[in-house]
Amino acid sequence: MELLRNFFFLLALYLLQGSNTSFVRLDNNGYEGIIIAIDPAVPEDETLIEQIKDMVTAASTYLFEATEKRFFFKNVSILIPEKWKNITQYKRPKHESYKHADVLVSPPTLPGRDEPYTKQFTACGEKGEYIHFTHDFVLGKKQNEFGPSGRLFVHEWAHLRWGVFDEYNDAEPFYSVNTKKIEATRCSTGITGINRVYKCQGNSCVTNKCKIDSKTKLYQKDCQFFPDKYQTEKTSIMFMQGIGSVAEFCNEKNHNREAPSVQNKMCNFRSTWEVISNSEDFRNTVVMVAPPPPPVFSLLKISERIVCFVLDKSGSMANSNRLNRMNQAAKHFLLQTVENGSWVGMVHFDSTAYIKSNLIQIISSNERRKILKSLPTVASGGTSICSGIQSGLEAIRNAYFQTDGSEIVLLTDGEDSSAKTCIDKVKQSGAIIHLIALGPNADQAVIEMSKVTGGEHLFATDEAQNNGLIDAFAALASGNTDASQKSLQLESKGLKLDSNGWMNGTVIIDSTVGKDTFFLITWNQQLPVISLLDPTGKSVGNFSVDSASKMAYLSIPGTAKVGAWTYSLQAKRNSETLTITVNSQAANSSVPPITVNAKMNKDTNSFPSPMIVYAEILQGYIPILGANVTAFIESNTGKIEVLELLDNGAGADSFKNDGVYSRYFTTYKENGRYSLKVRAHGGENAVTRNLRHPLNRAAYIPGWVVDGNIEGNPPRPEIDENTQTNLESFTRTASGGAFVVSNVPSLSSVTDVFPPSQITDLEATSDDDEISLTWTAPGDDFDVGKVRKYIIRISGSILDLRDNFDNALQVNTTDLLPKEANSKETFTFKRGNISEENATHIFIAIQSVDKSNLTSKVSNIAQAALFVPQADYMPDEIPPGSSPDKNPPKSRLSISILVVLVVGAVITVSLILSITICVLSRKRNSSRPRTGF
């Protein structure tokens, strides 16, 4: 029995590598299971489906050639919104949903923002989240600005699948190389073009030379690189795949390691092909001989939600108040979370299973209350998980529904050695299994069912004050419902209280939510005194009390008032446990609500490997900055670790100000399951919407150079960052699911195994002979604590510093005292012995050392200019439609002639004077002896 249990536990660990929700798999060089989802907000247009097919078909051929005949797209599912009309060829999805989509086709993030991008916030070589296309881009309306859609899909696929980055950098579009010339950031340098300022007003466009910024010694920010339209260079797809000749990724031989590209910064100067070649995909394939077949497409249309509860009522559910807590959480789900129009049924199981309610469609509160009566009231018997699942599928079929795409919410607190016997049937059914594991002994083998079917794996302990069970059910909102129709969790808190103890707090309802606002109070022994005040201070009462389930709830009619709602709960019994949960929906379907999504970077881990917590805060697709975000990680026994998550671009956080808040998690105390919950709070005048262009987006082509002339594209819509407005206060909570940790040593045997995190935001500026550095302090253990010292080294060669850091010139850091992790560090030093004759820039890197002499990875490499580089020469202005050599206007021609005449006269006079002086000098010194060295 123990051997069998360990086998399935290891199998689950294997299946749970990584927490990316994609179903893409590689089979005989072909990618299968790709999901392209059309957002419900996209207007119905069957042409869009055909354009998606054309895009993927063209991309498959381009990908095959770009990867040296290794990869192609084999089959793709296109997810069609529920509101689009029904067509016979549309099928019902199985596990395919918006949550698992690899590509989202939706309206632009902001009006005019049609740039394709990939949501990518993990390290180099790790998979991204999803690709975002607008429907106008897919329909071919933005080809001039971004290039053919098939080629661009391959660019974004490389982000998504292989974790490579762009070989340009809008933040650092130019750099200076050893030739002392300013170059555009690109790969490879074989891509030709010119650097110009190109501005249009109405129908008139003017081209000017680029001016040099006095601080950076590079071109000012209005300068752009315009590529020649006709080229012969084949690399690189991650720079500008829209160039006709580009058909390959940069490799080790032609990669530009000097450019400050995002790829160089994130991947330690490795080329994209080096990263791709090191991927698991590459290792598991061989070069194909014959060309691949075209992709096969499946058209899947979202339909009504079908959910069947399969609830454990075995004898162990009588322990630790589990049965009643399960009923409280299930009632909250039925009253508040499950969407109108859904079909819901219920099955109980112990040693056998019982269908307690066939599927009922939720139309009003009447159907919700009817299903509530089917919840179990007595715990007894054994545990037969497969019986429960099979009865759940039977209940679905009894209502004449397909099991494809239906959902089973399985809650269990025990182990069942026979659970493995129905795994194949579950796969064949097409149903989605959501596992809620309650307590420390819930069956491990069922994890496989949830993983392979696209379901959630959630976990709650017996510590009721942590509210984990209600959070788990609340996390099961539909993956295919628009955010404006979902129930969002604003608050989830609990406390253990002594006699006459109080639980007080506030819940903020912001203007993006307020519809169907729902307050839920639970207790363990006796109904507490409940006080709730709205933002005006008016008392709000009339809670509905369910004494049997020990819960009270209140629905606010209409739209709740915006502001802080204050609650006070007074316990009437000793050692009482109270919880409060608050949910609400979007106030206006046309205004996206603020949402929080949480996850770990892995679903399973083995000590001492660190994990990373991620929480993303968005309004629609727009990142929210400046929030206070806290992660609560609960272990198998109910112990909680609290982490402040940061969006500072340091430590575990890959990109600053992208709305993704991150932190390392290393404080494992025990083996087994852990659960994640995140709480986000935005204070008034502290949080903003990030209106900048998204990161990891396709390069916008400003125009082409043809026969020396710039043929410009319409300017990219720009928004001044300073025009961003502050958001009002808000609160949100979100469950991040469960994960499993193994091989945790006992506390007595733990040694320091965690080094400081890598510094990734080192910046340098130069002023005369001094270099000033700034960076974010790492910690003794990744991003916690304080390092013992810093090692700073410099070089005149970026590659020498990267490859031979330990041999580079070391800077004296005796006076540099490290600060606590996540503090801002500054340091200034003299430039030293690097001369301007030998180098154009000084390159600097840092390594951190902790108290156990563990060293961090070498930081990103910063650079400081030593001189003003050479700028491109061109006349001050070129009128539209002409080049420097053709048809200059009369006014500029006369100025040019005048300049030539003046310069010629000066040269002539200077030459005559020089000859005269030379002749006279020879006459005077003809008899003087020669001297010299």
Count the Cβ atoms, other than its own, within 10 Å of residue 140: 13
Contact assessment for residue 119 and residue 132, using Cβ atoms and an 8 Å cutoff: yes
Alpha-carbon span 434 to 432, nearest angstrom: 7
Contact assessment for residue 145 and residue 59, using Cβ atoms and an 8 Å cutoff: no
Number of residues that make up the chain? 933
Residue written as token pair 């590659």: 799
**Amino acid found at 351:** S
Query: What tokens does 343 get?
Result: 């079909």
**Which among 448, 474, 511, 432 is positioned nearest to 736, based on CA atoms?**
474
Sign for the CA dihedral angle at 849, 853, 856, 859 comes to positive
**Which among 592, 74, 587 is positioned nearest to 298, based on CA atoms?**
74
Q: Cα–Cα distances in Å, from 394 out to 306, 435, 519, 656, 790? A: 13, 19, 35, 50, 64
Count the Cβ atoms, other than its own, within 10 Å of residue 568: 14
Alpha-carbon span 713 to 904, nearest angstrom: 41
Query: What tokens does 479 get?
Result: 């993956």
Alpha-carbon span 611 to 600, nearest angstrom: 7
**Omega before 608 within 30 of 0, i.e. cis:** yes
Residue 203: DSSP 8-state: T
Burial class of residue 845, CB neighbours in 10 A (0-12, 13-18, 19+): buried
Contact assessment for residue 35 and residue 247, using Cβ atoms and an 8 Å cutoff: no
* Given 145, 156, 456, 491, the catalytic residue: 156
**Which among 174, 180, 172 is positioned nearest to 866, based on CA atoms?**
180
**Which among 740, 596, 588, 579 is positioned nearest to 675, based on CA atoms?**
740
**Amino acid found at 14:** Y
Alpha-carbon span 811 to 842, nearest angstrom: 12
Contact assessment for residue 506 and residue 366, using Cβ atoms and an 8 Å cutoff: no
Contact assessment for residue 781 and residue 666, using Cβ atoms and an 8 Å cutoff: yes
For 57-68, letters b (16+ CB in 10 Å) and e give bbbbbbbbebbb
Residue 573 makes CB contacts below 8 A (sequence gap 6+) with: 499, 525, 526
Alpha-carbon span 160 to 296, nearest angstrom: 21
Beta-strand runs (E) in 647-754: 660-665, 672-682, 688-689, 703-706, 709-712, 730-742
**Which among 76, 74, 65 is positioned nearest to 287, based on CA atoms?**
65
Beta-strand runs (E) in 232-294: none
Contact assessment for residue 632 and residue 579, using Cβ atoms and an 8 Å cutoff: no
Alpha-carbon span 695 to 115, nearest angstrom: 10
296: three-class secondary structure by DSSP: strand
Q: Torsion angle of alpha carbons 403, 404, 409, 414, nearest 10°?
A: 80
- Mode of pairing for the β-strands spanning 770-776 and 75-80: unpaired
Query: What tokens does 232 get?
Result: 């012969």
Alpha-carbon span 779 to 349, nearest angstrom: 50
Residue written as token pair 């013992």: 788
Does 115 qualify as catalytic in the annotation? no
**Which among 523, 436, 521 is positioned nearest to 473, based on CA atoms?**
436
**Omega before 590 within 30 of 0, i.e. cis:** no
Write out the catalytic residue numbers. Answer: 156
